[in-house]
Amino acid sequence: MVFVKSWGLLIDSAPRSGPANMAVDEYLFTCLDKEPRTTVRFYSWERPTASLGYSQVAARVLDVAYCRQNGIDVVRRITGGKLVLHWREITYSVASSDTETF
């Protein structure tokens, strides 16, 4: 028997602010339950945004005052990793409770 998995796909056609993008990603993560489910989301950014990994210390990796003065959003991802500057790009996120997908 062949089991075909289905994934959810979200394509945000309008750019969003950094905080809005992170809120959507966090919402998708919190909606996961015990049933295996995977959602892939593609999105873009309204303005330059620095996203920090979950455990990074902002003061160690960027000048927050400079970012505020220059219209750069600063957000924290619910995942790990290092600082990423997002701007004029398409970003994707994957939220999954399916342990056999990856």
**45-61: average pLDDT:** 95
Return the H-helix or E-strand segment holding 61: helix 58-61
pLDDT of amino acid 99: 83
In which domain, by residue range, is 26 found?
Answer: 8-96
> In the predicted model, what is the mean pLDDT of the chain?
92
CA distance readout (Å), 89 to 6, 26, 84? 26, 20, 12
pLDDT of amino acid 1: 60
2 falls within a domain? no
CA distance readout (Å), 47 to 41, 50, 71, 95, 96? 19, 10, 7, 24, 28
CATH of the domain at 53: 3.30.930.10
Strands (E), 13-72: 38-43, 49-52
Find how far residue 17's CA is from the centre of its chain: 12
pLDDT of amino acid 34: 80
Number of domains in the chain: 1
pLDDT of amino acid 33: 83
